[in-house]
Amino acid sequence: MQLQLPEPSSDALAASRALLDLIVNDIRRNSGWISFAQYMELALYAPGLGYYSGGAAKLGKDGDFTTAPEITPLFGATLARVAADLMARTSPQVLEFGAGTGKLARDILTELNEIGVSVHRYYIVEVSGELRARQEETLRDFPQVAWLDRFPAAFSGVVVGNEVLDAMPVNLVAKTAQGWQERGVGLSPSGFAFQDQPCDEALQAALAAQIPHADELPVGYVTEVHPIAAGFMHSLAAMLDAGYEQSGHGGAALLIDYGFPAHEYYLGQRAQGTLMCHYRHHAHPDPFYLPGLQDITAHVDFTAMARAAIDGGLDLLGYTSQAAFLLDAGIGDLLLRTSPEDLLRYLPQANAVQKLISPAEMGELFKVLVLGKHAQLPDRFARNDRSHRL
């Protein structure tokens, strides 16, 4: 398939070729085949060359996709109201994973200042040096921000992860006449190519645990298995558990992403999985196009994520659509801080909120999963809770 996408600069193309050579060498060192998770890990995170660890612009009009914090500061302001409630029940600290440009952190901290809520520390775990530099510039007026390059051993307070889980490497599996096979990456005369091998025991177990009625899916069905994201959930649980043991204070995690519960994820209509790539605001399905210059994502299996967190000792505090969560959190009230009669200021904000909550836009596809250790959501979130659908 020939993709008609914008041409990269010569410098970007050279970086992509360097990453391509690195991946080719990795495949050759591994007898001509690597898992798709390993390919995705290198394409996104190879030091200095991967999509998130290199220098390409990722977010906003000059990047490859737009996230909710880039659309309106009301998204962060609304999360700040929830964080204020949760910090009052836990600790006055926030830990954000994958903070992008830093805009979400700035909007959360600005709103917390506005309502008189003190944050002792706002930690950001960031693997991208380029994004960290942008965050440091964006957040220069907030001395309570500190950066980490890995999970802290212990934490109490509020964890925020907006579009973090979808960027974690996934394993691909394909149903064949011989049963399920792992779809990995090998080499062909024209470049990278998908190649299938038998699943090892660990992947077979993950597949059986994750995919309901896997044996009933048709031959030719391709989908994703999420052991790395599940591992992240276990680490999150261990961190919040250790935080409670050390401080006596609980913690809660707000994870916002696009995806489905398991019974909606593995449907006939998604017979080729949910893998998607983003390059200069174009979405396409080819993960081998310009490695290092495009994002590669998969939808989140929220059932698998909730199960991993619960197995790690966390409580499921809530699960709902982004629209319901933001409305219950009061985004409508925050919008009305701008008078509807002030059309020049109100209409752009109203349109941005509509994009966040409309079922045709982000409102229904994006979900919010809330997990906790000795923490609880305010009662107003109970009316739209969908935890029973996980």
pLDDT at 61: 46
Q: What is the mean pLDDT of residues 145-168?
A: 96
Q: What is the mean pLDDT of residues 176-185?
A: 97
- Pick from 306, 318, 308, 315: which is nearest to 374 by CA? 315
**Structure-block tokens of residue 158:** 């509020």
Q: What is the mean pLDDT of residues 2-14?
A: 79
Q: pLDDT tens, 75-90? A: 999 999 999 999 999 9
Q: pLDDT tens, 27-42? A: 999 999 999 999 999 9
Residue 251 DSSP one-character state: E
pLDDT at 131: 84
**Secondary structure class of 350 (helix, strand, coil):** helix
As a whole number of angstroms, the distance between CA 190 and CA 2 comes to 13
Note the pTM of the prediction, 2 decimals.
0.95
Q: Apex CA 180: angle with CA 179 and CA 186, to 5°?
A: 120
Contact status, residue 124 vs residue 146, Cβ threshold 8 Å = yes
Contact status, residue 279 vs residue 64, Cβ threshold 8 Å = yes
Q: Would you say the C-alpha torsion 95, 332, 378, 383 has a positive or negative sign?
A: negative
- Pick from 51, 111, 36, 18: which is nearest to 278 by CA? 51
CATH 3.40.50.920 is the classification of domain 68-167+228-263+299-389:
no
Name the pairing type of β-strands 179-188 and 366-373.
Answer: unpaired
Contact status, residue 386 vs residue 263, Cβ threshold 8 Å = no
Q: How many other CB atoms sit within 10 Å of the CB of residue 59?
A: 19
Contacts of residue 24, defined as CB under 8 A and 6 or more positions apart, other chains included, come to 187
Please check the confidence at residue 7 and state whether its pLDDT lies above 90: no
Q: What is the mean pLDDT of residues 89-95?
A: 97
As a whole number of angstroms, the distance between CA 178 and CA 181 comes to 8
Q: What is the mean pLDDT of residues 213-227?
A: 96
Residue 6 DSSP one-character state: P
Please check the confidence at residue 234 and state whether its pLDDT lies above 60: yes
pLDDT at 3: 63
Q: How many other CB atoms sit within 10 Å of the CB of residue 351?
A: 11
Q: pLDDT tens, 124-150? A: 999 777 888 999 999 999 999 999 989
As a whole number of angstroms, the distance between CA 115 and CA 268 comes to 48
Contact status, residue 389 vs residue 337, Cβ threshold 8 Å = no
pLDDT at 65: 60
As a whole number of angstroms, the distance between CA 207 and CA 221 comes to 13
- Pick from 169, 267, 164, 159: which is nearest to 213 by CA? 267
pLDDT band, residue 386 (cuts 50/70/90): very high
- Pick from 161, 144, 163: which is nearest to 235 by CA? 161
- The DSSP string of 360-387 is TTTTTTEEEEEEEES----GGGGGG--G
Please check the confidence at residue 237 and state whether its pLDDT lies above 70: yes
